[in-house]
Structure 1
Amino acid sequence: MTANLLDNLNFATACRVAFAGFLRLGEFTYKTEDLNTRSIFSATKLTRSDVRFSSSLDHVQLTLKRSKTDRRHEGIQIVLAKTGDEACPVDALQKLLLLDPKEPDAPLFSFHRKPFSRNHFLSTLSTKLRALGIQTDGYSGHSFRKGAAQHAHDSGILDDQIQVLGRWTSEAFRVYFTTNASVLYKLNHQFQTGSPAPLSLLLPPPSPPPS
């Protein structure tokens, strides 16, 4: 594969893993100076050796050696399930390790001509979004973690389970939730009438003003 294709592969895999694992940006990116001492890097940052596939390949275990809520630096195990769809983090990691092999102590993700830093990752994200015709104003390094929390909420996962998945030590994650119009309609209907909303969630168009 060409260097550009490998860069795209690393970036795409990082996006899938970050979303599925509720990762903070600093947990999978690094600075240039972090690479100066490989032993320190291996002890604090994500490397290839931190990826463990299950024997059945139905999930992968990711070891975070340092994270915001791991005050004792004991390491945290994140389990990513295989989904088999285009966003599957397990399939993406398998492909990355096969097509872009590196030493066990090498960074998990990398760019060919520059470090996989916060700035370079966000710059690449903005470039990809603009190429798709998407405004970049609403996206940031926290978008993957925020989006994961919102998606879990919309999927019916309980708040305490979301807290576990995202490794939150408080209920601060609740600020990420937004409620779509259909849910607001059902709630308001029940509030006003005392009974659940009808099955149809399509709001009728407003009546024209009398002539």
Structure 2
Amino acid sequence: MSDTPFTQETHPGRPVVDRRLSQEAFRKLTSGQVINQTQYVNGQLAPNPLFNELYKERDRYYVEAYSNMGMELVQRRGFFYVRSLIESQGDDDSRDQESSVSIRQIQGVLLVLGRGVLEKGFMFEAMTLPEAGISRETLESIGSDPTMVLILKACKMDQSLPDAAKVALVDRDIAFFNDKGNLVLTDAGKTFFEDLFSQRSSEN
């Protein structure tokens, strides 16, 4: 997964930080979640106030604040996440990771989803539209394929695909279940998915 930050214009002046939003963003980021530009609320996508808080004061406050705590606040198009400064200064294999296990789980589930959805005849957009998504029945069907089971087991995931998707993606805000119970990728999920499959295409 690429970690090239999405740059924004620096806004001079004194930062104006919302303490409540700042604390909530910190809690989410340090628990391994991403913060997306949009969030699923009442059946539709809406602006995420946590993203807006980080965005407006990123350069004036948050980058330095997280750095002082040993973390790098990384912004990519549509979402924020944090990583350890020790990781970000290491080699390429350690970047963009909470741990090698968690990154393998994310990539493994996305790989299974990508292959399975295409084999079922769905378009990629089905995984990204909040009113669409992939049903639990379809996820279970994809996850029952022996090849997909092996991929998940290699990522240390013995759950069914719907449960694996919850652990690897939904709990990290990389995906969500919509009102129909269908799985939909968030802003971060779409980017990670594109990273994974563009990387695999370049390797072939």
Query: What TM-score, normalized by structure 2, do the two folds share?
Result: 0.25
Question: 1 or 2, which has the higher strand percentage?
Answer: 2
Structure richer in helix, relative to its length: 2
Please report the TM-score for the alignment, with normalisation by the length of structure 1: 0.24
| Structure (1 or 2) with the larger CA radius of gyration | 1
